[in-house]
Amino acid sequence: MATLEELQGRITRLEDIKQIEKLQRIYGYYLDYNEYQKVVDLFSENAESVEIADYGVYKGKKGAKRFYLELLGGKPPRVGELSIGMIMQGVVDIDPNGKTAKGRWYCMMIEAKPTLSLHEGELRQLWGNGIYENKYIKENGKWMFQKVFFFLNFRTPYEDGWLKVPVVGQNGPSTEVPPDAPSTFYYPYPAGVHLQPHYKHPITGK
Amino acid sequence: MNLEELEKQVTLMEDIQEIENLQRIYAYYFDLQRWQDILDLFSDNAESVEIVDHGLFKGKEGAKKMYWDWIGQGGQPFRAPWVQFIITQIGGVVNMSPDGKTAWGRWQTWLCEAKPFGAYPRQEWLHGYYENKYVKKNGKWLFSKLHWNNTFCSPFEDGWMKTPLMGLMNYHPTIKPDAPPTAFRPYPSGYHIPYHYKHPITSR
């Protein structure tokens, strides 16, 4: 029979996973509504980086602010712009120290966005898909983002599909709000380069 | 920490899991067109049901009008075989009241449907957000309020930008809602459905 302390440890782990799942989903809902200040407030003061698709790496909390507030939120969304990210299928692992964690998620996107650049060009309806491999950190009892990394699989016009047009337009690197470093892993379909998961095989441990 | 506190923590985790299952089971019943089983997921003291632009239906009686009479076409267990409701439940954010007896949940939904519009069978994509309320009665979680707000309902052939809304669904010759829809503002209105929760870090 486990001791009270051991049970406390086990229930805390389950609570931590649930809190991280909620954090990740709430992040998605804020992004849907272009609420970038609220997104930035989900990041730790000691955040490592944000890297989304071909935008490049934005380092630290300062970089997160530059990326979300200045780059994405630099111009108000255009009439008819639509940004839905459905964040699904989380695999969340708490590190043994109980203070940091990692999570892998699918994101399926339903969008209506400018396709010449981030804020310019004709609005088109798009399907998008990608994978998050994120890091989380617990500070003052609350889980926050330490790192957001998003691997883009495809972003394609509704009328074409991923086989005909895997990625429409190019979003980064921005000249107005430049990244701190170039993209580290941008290989959309059909590159066939896979984003490996943070976790080991649950059975073999490899 | 003592045993009593531990039990509270375990109960909270179980409650969230029960509610997530309830929400997902609801969608599978919808897909299966098991309208009576859906009604049985609602509390006898249910507040209301509101789906797209059908209007606000109050109480358990209202829920019966919505699911059994209207969507279920007067108690027909199944509609035509080609009619399809695939309703995915994604991104549940469930929060419990301090007393542990009521809860709220936000979800989003991506639907893949086929149903008649006028005289014609159509295939469509839909998206929307739920903001629901749940209540615990006799140890079981039930719906006390269900609100599904529609972002778009678009023909497969067109997509959401060309045809955000295929048509209104707010008319029935005999069934009338208790009140008009409270928040039906589909794309491209830019309408934001309020969150039941505060920001998890800033609490604002």
> pLDDT tens-digit profile of A112-150?
999 988 889 999 999 999 999 999 999 999 999 999 999
Interface test mutation site (partner A, options B201, B202, B204, max chain A beta carbons within 10 A): B201
CB atoms B161 and A87 under 8 Å: no
Provide the number of CB pairs (under 8 Å) joining chain A to chain B. Answer: 85
Helix (H, G, I), strand (E, B) or coil at A40: helix
Residue A206: both structure tokens together: 């490899």
Task: State whether residue B33 sits within 8 Å of chain A by CB.
Answer: no
Give residue limits of the domains in chain A. Answer: 4-157
Q: What is the pLDDT of residue B76?
A: 79
Looking up tokens 């964690």 gives: A101
Contact between B200 and A142 using a beta-carbon 8 Å cutoff: yes
Task: Report d(CA A126, CA A172) in Å as an integer.
Answer: 18
For residue A1, the model assigns a pLDDT of 82
Report A:102-161 residues touching B (Cβ under 8 A). 108, 110, 112, 123-125, 142, 144, 158-159
- What are the pLDDT tens digits along chain B (204 aa)? 799 999 999 999 999 999 999 999 999 999 999 999 999 999 999 999 999 999 999 999 999 999 999 999 987 777 888 999 999 999 999 999 999 999 999 999 999 999 988 888 999 999 999 999 999 999 999 999 999 999 999 999 999 999 999 989 899 999 999 999 999 999 999 999 999 999 999 999
Q: For the domain with range A4-157, which CATH number is right: 3.10.450.50, 3.30.360.10, 3.30.420.40, 1.10.287.1260?
A: 3.10.450.50
pTM of the model: 0.97
Into how many domains does chain B fold?
1
**What letter does residue B53 receive in the DSSP assignment?**
T
* B25 within domain boundaries: yes
Task: Evaluate whether A107 touches A88 at the Cβ level (below 8 Å).
Answer: yes
Residue B81 lies in a domain: yes
CA A158 – CA A155 distance, rounded (Å):
9
ipTM (interface predicted TM) = 0.95
- In the DSSP assignment, the letter for residue B189 is S
Sign of the alpha-carbon torsion through B90, B200, B103, B52: negative
Minimal CA–CA distance to A6: which of B102, B6, B185, B145?
B6
CATH number of the domain at B140, please: 3.10.450.50
The pLDDT score that the predictor gives to residue A170 is 83
Residue A58 distance to chain B (closest CA, Å): 22
Residue B137 located in a structural domain: yes
Calpha distance A186→A191 (Å, rounded): 9
Instruction: Give the integer Cα–Cα distance in Å for B163 and B147.
Output: 23
Range of the domain at B150: 3-155
User: How confident is residue A19, by pLDDT bands cut at 50, 70 and 90?
Assistant: very high
CB contact under 8 A, A79 and B16: no
Is B28 part of a structural domain of the chain? yes
**A79 touches B: beta carbon within 8 Å:** yes
A15·B9 Cβ contact <8 A: yes
Map A147-191 to HEC letters.
EEEEEEEEEEECCCCCCCCCECCCCCCCCCCCCCECCCCCCCCCC
Q: Does A11 touch chain B (CB under 8 A)?
A: yes
Q: Which positions in chain A touch B92 (Cβ < 8 Å)?
A: 25
Write phi, then psi, for A123 (nearest 5 degrees): -75, 135
